[in-house]
Amino acid sequence: MKRSSTLLPQAKLRGLLLVGSFCLLGGSAAQAQNIDEGKSAQQLYAATCAACHKNPAVLAKGRFRATLVPFLQDHYTTGMSEAWALAGYLASVDAGPPRAKKPGAGKKRPPAAPSAQQN
């Protein structure tokens, strides 16, 4: 009695290997796309910031561009050039340094003394 093999016949195995090698060699690798590429700084702001920050003039708050870029790149843009463009835009519309709180602004005033002319 002839023993039957549980493995694929050699012809099917060769065909499967041939198809697999074509898939590996012929298939192109997926290329990552920069979705922010080609957008102006105003478009970047509108797409990534405007939903929460209505006024771009207060976002830079007197900061240097070089300190904004790493934060913007990590959190809001897809590349270094986009982060620099957005930081430049924010710096160009910057409202100036953050306003210092007036001394005693957080303190409550004592209640006014009742007037002596009550009837």
pLDDT in tens, 49-105: 888 888 888 888 878 888 889 988 888 888 888 889 889 888 888 766 655 666 655
pTM above 0.75, yes or no: no
DSSP track, 31-77: PP--TTTT--HHHHHHHHTTTT-S-GGGTSTT--HHHHHHHHHHHT-
pLDDT in tens, 28-63: 555 666 666 778 888 888 888 888 888 888 888 878
CB 60 within 8 A of CB 90: yes
